[in-house]
Structure formats: structure tokens, C-alpha cells
Amino acid sequence: MKKRTLLQTTLALAGLLSLGLAQAQTTPIKFQLDWRFEGPAALFLTPAAKGYFKDAKLDVTVDAGNGSGGAVTRVASGTYDMGFADLAALMEFHANNPDAPNKPVAIMVVYNNTPASVMALKKTGIKTPADLAGKKLGAPVFDAGRRAFPIFQKANGIGAVTWTAMDPPLRETMLARGDVDAITGFTFTSLLNLEARGVKAEDVTILPYADFGVKLYGNVIIATPKILKENPEAVKAFLAAFTKGAKDVITNPAAAIEFVKQRDGIINVALETRRLQLAIDTVINSPDARAEGFGQLNPGRLSLMASQVSDAFGTKTRVNPDVIWNGSFLPAKAALNILPVPKAAPAAAKK
């Protein structure tokens, strides 16, 4: 009996030791989103829900955010190991905090194009960027589109405009009421918000920055220098698992939204599915993304963006593109080949 008890105890201890070793081999990663649990968050919630991170021996915690600026500063503070943020916001942080000890680095492009656009109601007569001259534009002061508007303005020779600031929830309401002539915002956010306020999509003029000479990159995955140096294999594993999940999301957005609903049970599933599909079509599987490759970037385009952001944002120092980006943790190009070629439009639709 004593031998049996000893054997059981030994086996139990061995099991606990094995479990402890397994847990020790799992790397915890705290990840900060740029915004709430809306459609695009499925890109990160899918690999978490499907166990892709777990299979990569990662314990990933994904938290909602309140803007790219906040995501950058939280990663810089060390509160989060990695995050999702607009590349322009990351550039601005670097240039305005040259002596900061833990400046995050971009390691993967997700939104190859900025989602920013100018939106106006067609009844205002605004059809082209030139029509914005002399008009009243509205956006929160920290809006990415507003911050980058000088780049859009210069690229299109737009005359002077006036700005009205408001809190984010009021932006689309003020446009619908006619308090402003146009707004800046992410297309897949503001267009759907306008529809929720009774404005039909066909009554909205959309001027995407990417279609009018502004080739800014959008959101990227960022990471602290600490994790890049101390655990590069975990970072590589994260990007590989994320890429696998992103492929699933692009293939079946409707299914992916269920993982967003698991984190926020009150979302409008149909609305968030549309938001996700808009994001995929406009900034993830865009012509530029297919040309450069998912996750990757063009060094020349990065340098131009660094110069444009320095000028438009009036940064304390010039943005140095060489310290912003590190693509050495990306999966192999074959693994990054996840973007489907858009289906050709029917002949009748082309006429």
C-alpha cells in the first residue's frame, strides 16, 4: 500500500512538474488594440479564439483601445508588449520623443493604405478635392485624417479650409445636420456611422486619401524593443499565428465576426461584418498591398511618408524611417501570400 501511495505521489508530482514546464515555455504577450471590439478587431481575436497563438506557445491577451496614440504610448510605457496602431502616430511619437528609452517599432503592415478619407453629402456639391476649398471641415483634433489633411491638401492643390472640432460621437451627426460641409475619418467607420444616422451611402461623396495621391501606410503591428531583443522567437511566432488567422478572416469575414461578438456581446453583427469587409477591400487587400505583399512595405514609400508626416505634423525632430521599421521578424514571403485576387466584375457591371 505504501509503495502504491508513493507511486501515486511520484506520478502526481511528475504531472505537476510537466505542467509547470509547459507553462514556463508559454510566453505571455499583452496586446493593445487601437480601438474598440469592432469588425477589424477580428484580425486579432480570430487567432486567439482558434488557438493559433496557443499552438505557438503564446499566451496572448488582447485588450480594446481608444485610439492609435494611446496604443503607442501604452506599448512605449511597457504596459503592453505589442499593439496595433497607425504608422503616422508611431512616427509622431518617435519624432516628438527622441530621448524616450523604449520607443516601439513597427514590425508588420496590416493596413497597407491609410483608411482616412474626406466625406461629404452629395447635396453640398462637393465632388472632387478641389471643391473643398473655402469649406468648413469637421473632425476631432486627434483624428488621423485631420492630422494628415495637409498632405492631402498639398497633393491636390486644395485652397484654404476652416476646421471645426468635436468629440468623435458627434462627427457624423454634425455632417448629417449640415453643421459642417465635410468630415475626415476612417471610411469604414464614418460611412457606417452616417448610415446609422439615416444617411444613405449613395448620398455620400467619399474621397479616400489613397485614391488622391496620398500613399500613407495605415495601421501596423508594433512591439517594444525589449521583447524584440529578449524574445525574438516569440515575436516571430506571434506574426506567423496572426498571419494564419488573418487569412481565415479574409476568407470568411462573417464567421470571424463571431469572435468579436464573444468579446462584446452587444455589437451589431451585420454592421460589424460590413465594417470588416470594407476594411479588407479598401486597406488590407488593396492594389498597393497586393503589389508590395501582405505585411511588407516599400522602403521608398516609407521614407516619403516619414518626410510628409514630419512636415504635416510639425514634429520636434524629423522622422527617421530607419528606426521606425524592422521587417526581420516577418514570416517567409510564401506564408505571407494570403491576399486573394479580387473577382472580376461581370461584363454588365462594367458598362
Question: Which domains are seen in the chain, by residue range?
Answer: 26-113+217-350 (3.40.190.10), 116-211 (3.40.190.10)
Q: Whole-angstrom Cα distance, residue 61 to residue 263?
A: 12
pLDDT, tens digit, for every residue of 161-206? 999 999 999 999 999 999 999 999 999 999 999 999 999 999 999 9
Give the pLDDT mean for 287-304: 97
pLDDT, tens digit, for every residue of 108-125? 999 999 999 999 999 999
Give the pLDDT mean for 15-33: 72
pLDDT, tens digit, for every residue of 302-350? 999 999 999 999 999 999 999 999 999 999 999 999 999 877 645 444 4
- The set of cell numbers assigned to 317 is 525632430
Residue 327's alpha-carbon distances to 239, 296, 299, in angstroms, are: 11, 7, 11
Report the chain's mean pLDDT, rounded to a whole number: 92
Please say if the pLDDT value at position 24 is more than 80: no
Give the pLDDT confidence score for residue 16 in this predicted structure: 52
pLDDT-derived band at 134 (thresholds 50, 70, 90) equals: very high
pTM score of the predicted model: 0.89
Give the pLDDT mean for 243-260: 98
Give the pLDDT mean for 124-149: 95
Look at residues 109, 137, 116 and name the one whose alpha carbon lies nearest to residue 243.
109
